[in-house]
Structure 1
Amino acid sequence: MTSPQLTEHRIPADAFDELAAGTGGAPVVRRLVAAQYSKHLLLVRGVLEAARRAGHARWAAARRAYDLLAAVQAQHPEAVAAVLRHPSVGAWARHAVGTGEGVEQLASVAAAAVVRAGVTCEVDVPMTGGVVTIPSLGQVTLPGASAAGDATATVHSAPDGAEVSVEGVAVRIGGAAPGWAGLRSLSAEAGGRSFRVLVDDLDPHRMPGSGNLRSRLSESETERWQGVLQEAWGLLARNHPDVADEVAAAITVFTPLTAPDQGLSSATSRETFGCIALSTPPDPHTLAVTLAHETQHAKLSALLDIVPLTRPDDGARYYAPWRDDPRPVGGLLQGAYAFLGVAGFWRRQRHHESGEDAVRAGAEFARWREAARTVSGTLLTSGALTGPGERFVARMARRLDDWRREPVPAASAAIAREAADRHLTLWRERNGGAGHVGDVLRT
């Protein structure tokens, strides 16, 4: 493929410092998004090269798929970009490069671009258990196809639509066609700001390593997600406009998770930039702070692909005030950066609450500013940061020091202290009473 956006990516010093302070804004996030697109281009090319070097049995088919993708890119670059930016494509490509498995899925990536572009052609694609996955678009279940084993189906594309067929049985792609399950979208608009995400509850690579992926949302569940998202987006747009802009620039996909006993589960992965995996949001406030939290993770993961901030893991593990288990330095940094964002959210949101809600919001601010600052100190004395990492965490610490000087009501401070003390006590019981905050717990 031609790669006009495949350039060297750098982060200017001022943008780096803005990110370190927990912000950056949409322009800086768009730099990170561009770097991630280049990463996906490299990974897809890497799939082809890995197959060639290994003498893979699917090498010739992979070459044809890659050439087709390049031909579509020349005429319809936006169609190829929409597919290659899709988070699961990056996860699949990384897996294929690392293991040599799934090389044949390159044909499905090419087919997705062909269908999006409305190009007239046919593409043979892998089918597993009678199901064909078309990344960024959806899945086809072919009636009568074998439910066991692997086979090949054919995507037939034309300007007026597309279908998938095998052994004379065809399923139309799009709409409410029987056998077709398309990715649905959620959207919200408030205060002149808009946000749109796909709900990927189908792709096998949508969140690698997750043990609590759930099956496809029902129509009623999708409607519930839409309603909560609209309210959460309104809250962000009104009270946290800069965060809203970053979320809109970075996040393109939600992946549903199985709900925990209470609250909300959420996660991001360095392999699936742009995707937030989450359980059904219980309320708009929870979803709003989750978007702020997980976007911080996404920003840091993308930055780490450009600038290494930590040295190789030396086995040391540390206390994190938001986890039940001892954490390595990389995980500690991710958590501190995410909770810098959470503290910033509650710092602003407390001024838009009243009564007991204001007390709770102040407690959240007090707890997480202290937790993130304590862990920043641990990181700075760990000896495990690179030079840029030390600059990054020092900037985080300065921002948190500024926030620590801001008064909170006594009731909020008491709730924060009690919650922090309770977490540390339970953590010590769970981990054998080990250590003080900041101590190296294990090597």
Structure 2
Amino acid sequence: MPGEPEASGDLSFHQLSAVSLQALSRGEGGASVVAEILAAERSRRLLLLRALDEGMSKGADASEAEGLSAGADSSEGGPPQAPGTAISHRDAWSLLERVQRQAPEVFEDVLMSPPTGRWVSLALHQTRGKFSDDAPLWVVLGHLSALAAAAAARAGLDFAIAVPVRRGLVQLPTLGCAVLPVREQWSVARIEARRGTLRITGEHGEVLVPRDAEAKANVPDWHPVRRVVLESGDRPKRLTLEELDPYRTFPRPSEPRLLSAAEAGTWEGMLADAWEILLRDEPESAEAMRYGLLAMVPASTRERFRPYSGTAGDAFGGVTASCPDDAAQLAATLVHEFQHTKLGGLIHLQPLVRFQPAQDPEELFYAPWRDDPRPLRGLLQGIYAFVGVTRFWRVHRYAADAGQVPSAHFEFALWRTQVWSTLNLVRGHERLTPLGRYVIEGLRERSAQWLADPVPDAELALAREAVADHRARWRAYHLRPPAAAVEDAVRAWQRGDAQAPAGLAAEPELVPDSEVPFLDSAAVLARYRLSEPDGAWRHLAAQDSGVAGGVEGASAADVLLACDDRAGARDALVAELSGKGASVAAWAGLGRALAGEGQADRAASRLLLRFPERARAVHEAVEAVTGRAPDPVRLAAWLGQGEATERQGLSGGSGPDRP
């Protein structure tokens, strides 16, 4: 098997140095830390390949009997007939071993390509019945032959091998993709490399590809892998702009998405500019990424100020991202996703969270960067990623162009607050392993140093409003007070009691709402306000479509709040909540609109920003009983009375954020 160690009585294990572990526990770590993680990831990937090899070897005879060789009828699950072709994993392993001996650097590049890690993980899961791809199993397993062919072609070897064809596409990972005329969804092609030419032959045609890299781009029906160079000099940073490999995406493989010349130019320019920002503002992260950031997968453009990005734990070094608004946003995205990459590598060595039996219900938490409640493992990933984001904006706000400085101050203040509150939420949780507790304490120590950093008043106020708005919206959508307490409150309201019964202060129930719409609207509107104080967004933001210039999830009242028209927002929100079909998010908006008013309004504002779920539940119940919606401000003020409400908070213990 490629990369298999010599037989020995002793087994060695990967272990992070104390210095690297300390750096990772603080959300940091440069090139030396990534080198240790990469070594462990390489061994892990070889072990996964070995497990897959053993499974394929055991099933080889059975597969051939079921028709997984040339000439079988496709209706039986095997490839259609293709003259002279037979997919053989033994041929693939043999070819990979040749590459490893004769061109080890090429072998390592193919082995450590992010999509390779994703493929071997999915293939193993599919052989064990834990994952279902739309491609037949023989196509999934046959991808090994495609990897071997790509590696051998790059190494300049002469060879011949059969590979699967996916909807007319012959994928050669890290090399390119050929397009064949085919009639079947899944078929087989033969690849031969002789005297400087790669011949890819299918049942109905072939593609000839010269081995010269520059000539490949001019070959019909051939798409080479796109690579970019982000830095000149003697240490250039090279990165694959991955459009082709089916395993570049997650959770499922996908068809190639070719960039136009204009899109490719935009990406290359943005990446180069973002890299320069990282070299200046995040030099340690840049050095880590120099070795550990391997591929960027472009995704479709998203709404402004709402970029999409993601990583998969099995695809170490790969980042998926939508086209960014600007280079600073992309730099922050790269930091964010590389934090996930580092933490994923650490977790592959030792878990941060204890195993939870399948029969036990999953505990869910408030995550201030998400719309949905998150399990502990996911919450830790978010904390770790946004520690990096906070660190980036903390420095970048002093180096950004003058027009971007206010936005950078806002981002730092926003994420500093969100990270700190969430760290305190999970600190000491019983399911954290000793390593998990060590990491949380390291992140708290690092984050605590940022709490006293000055932020201009205007940006700090906007960040605080965005924090409060997101949290209040999340509670209004996902939490429900005890039903008996709501019934008592309705009766007390009808009797004219001076204040609501104390039972409403009991811990609410978490009832996840899968239809929650964009809880970050206040933050997005704040970004518009800071970047374009007098821009057209004031007139467009309340439209339904982000594509049309609107902000998804934002109402006209939200825009009024973003423009500091609290009186106008109050009137709009009261009218909405007094009618039919009011948005759940309107309760949070009303809480913001009432802030700073008279004593009764301040009590209502506190209630709506801390416990909007109470106002929503009682309001709906009163309307159901009486047929008439109560005045939302008067109801919120009534609910806000009493010492029990005043004493309730959002953090610590087993409070409402950790139901």
Q: Specify the TM-score bucket, using the shorter chain as the normaliser.
A: over 0.9
Matches within 5 A, 1:351-362: 351-353=398-400, 357-362=404-409
3-state DSSP class of the match of 1:99?
Answer: helix
Contact persistence 2:247–2:253 (CA under 8 A) = no
Per the normalisation by structure 2, the TM-score is: 0.63
Letter in 2 for 1:287: L
Q: Deviations over 1:169-215 (max 9, x none)?
A: 32123332111111111221179763221121122111221699882
Structure-2 residue corresponding to 1:138: 176
Deviation (angstroms), 1:412: 2.7
Q: Is the CA contact (8 Å cut-off) linking 1:319 and 1:437 kept in structure 2? A: no
Q: Which residue of 2 aligns with 1:305?
A: 348
Aligned length in residues: 441
> 1 or 2 for the larger relative contact order (CA 8 Å, sep ≥6)?
1
| Structure 1 gap ranges (5+) | none
Q: Which residue of 1 aligns with 2:113?
A: 86
1:409 Cα deviation from its structure 2 partner: 2.3
Partner of 1:403: 450
Which residue is equivalent to 1:24? 29
CA distance, structure 1, for counterparts of residue 92 and residue 254 of structure 2: 33
Residue aligning to 1:337: 384
1:51 pairs with 2:56: yes
Whether 1:412 aligns to 2:468 is: no
Distance 1:92 1:210, change over 3 A: closer
Q: CA deviation at 1:245?
A: 1.2
Q: Is the 8 A contact 1:119 1:157 kept in 2?
A: yes
1:363 positional shift:
2.2
Alignment match, 1:38: 43
Q: How does 1:368-387 map to 2 (within 5 A)?
A: 368-387=415-434
* Residues 131, 139 of structure 1: 8 Å contact kept: yes
Shift of 1:65: 1.1
Cα distance per residue 1:88-143 (max 9 Å; x no partner) = 1111111111212321211111111111111011011111222111111221111x
Post-superposition Cα deviations, 1:258-302, rounded to whole Å, max 9, x if no partner, equal 222223211111121111101112211111111111110111111
What CA distance in whole angstroms lies between the structure 2 residues aligned with 1:85 and 1:256?
19
Counterpart of 1:165?
201
Structure 2 letter corresponding to 1:15: S
CA shift at 1:337, angstroms? 0.4
Equivalent in the alignment of 2:331: 288
- Call closer, same or farther: CA 1:235–1:68 in 2, change over 3 Å: same
Q: How does 1:173-322 map to 2 (within 5 A)?
A: 173=209, 174-189=216-231, 194-209=236-251, 215-263=257-305, 264-313=307-356, 315-322=362-369
| 8 A contact 2:364–2:374 mirrored in 1 | yes
Given that 1:175 and 1:182 are in contact with CA atoms closer than 8 Å, whether structure 2 keeps it comes out as yes
1:189 match: secondary structure: coil
Q: Measured at CA, do residues 402 and 51 of structure 1 come closer, stay the same or move farther in structure 2, by a change above 3 Å?
A: same
Assess, with a 3 A threshold, how the Cα gap between structure 1 residues 96 and 211 changes in structure 2: closer, same or farther: closer
| Aligned match of 2:533 | none
Q: Which amino acid aligns with 1:62?
A: H
How far apart in 2 are the matches of 1:296 and 1:328? Answer: 19
Counterpart position of 2:91: 64
Q: Secondary structure at the match of 2:237?
A: strand
CA contact (8 A) 1:316 1:441 kept: no
Cα deviation 1:10-42 (Å, max 9, x = unaligned)? 111221110111211111012112222222222
Contact 1:212 1:257 in 2 (8 A): no
CA shift at 1:344, angstroms?
0.3
Which residue in the other structure is 1:110 paired with?
A: 148
Alpha-carbon distance in structure 1 between the residues aligned to 2:251 and 2:229: 27
How far, CA to CA, are the matches of 1:308 and 1:291 in structure 2?
24
Distance 1:363 1:5, change over 3 A: farther
Q: Structure 1 residues 336-345 or 213-222, which shifts more? A: 213-222
2:162 equivalent among 115, 118, 124: 124
3-state DSSP of counterpart to 1:352: coil
What SS does the corresponding residue of 2:227 show, helix, strand or coil?
Answer: strand
Structure 2: 5+ residue stretches without partners = 7-11, 69-86, 128-136, 210-215, 481-507, 511-649
The whole-number CA distance in structure 1 between the counterparts of 2:318 and 2:154 is 21
Q: Which residue of 1 aligns with 2:440?
A: 393
Aligned to 2:185: 149
**Mean Cα deviation higher: 118-127 or 99-108:** 99-108
Find the residue that maps to 1:164 and give its secondary structure: strand
Q: Secondary structure at the match of 2:303?
A: coil
Question: Aligned Cα RMSD in Å?
Answer: 2.4
Q: Is the 8 Å Cα contact of residues 236 and 288 (structure 1) preserved in structure 2?
A: yes
SS at match of 2:157: coil
Quick check: 1:296–1:338 contact (8 Å CA) kept in 2? yes
Query: Which residue identity is paired with 1:36?
Result: E
Match of 2:122 in 1: 95
Identify the range of structure 1 (159-168 vs 328-337) with the bigger mean alpha-carbon deviation: 159-168
Cα distance between partner residues in 2 of 1:213 and 1:429: 39
Larger radius of gyration: 2
Q: Separation in 2 of the partners of 1:241 and 1:268? A: 22
SS in 1 for 2:446: helix
Question: How far off is 1:70 after superposition?
Answer: 1.4
SS in 2 for 1:305: helix
Residues 192 and 375 from structure 1, CA distance in 2 versus in 1: closer, same or farther, beyond 3 angstroms?
farther
Select between 333-342 and 103-112 the one with higher mean Cα deviation: 103-112
Matched residues in 2 for 1:281 and 1:341: separation?
Answer: 18
Letter in 2 for 1:208: F
Kept after mapping to 2: 8 A contact 1:190/1:233: no
Q: 8 Å contact 1:366–1:413 — kept in the other structure?
A: yes
**Amino acid of the structure 2 residue aligned with 1:278:** A
Percent identity, please.
33
1:133, 1:203 within 8 Å by CA — same for their partners in 2? Answer: yes
Contact 2:368 2:418 in 1 (8 A): yes
Distance change in 2, residues 1:67/1:182 (3 Å) = same
Distance 2:234 2:475 in 1: 48
- The 3 A distance-change label for structure 1 pair 423 and 85 is same
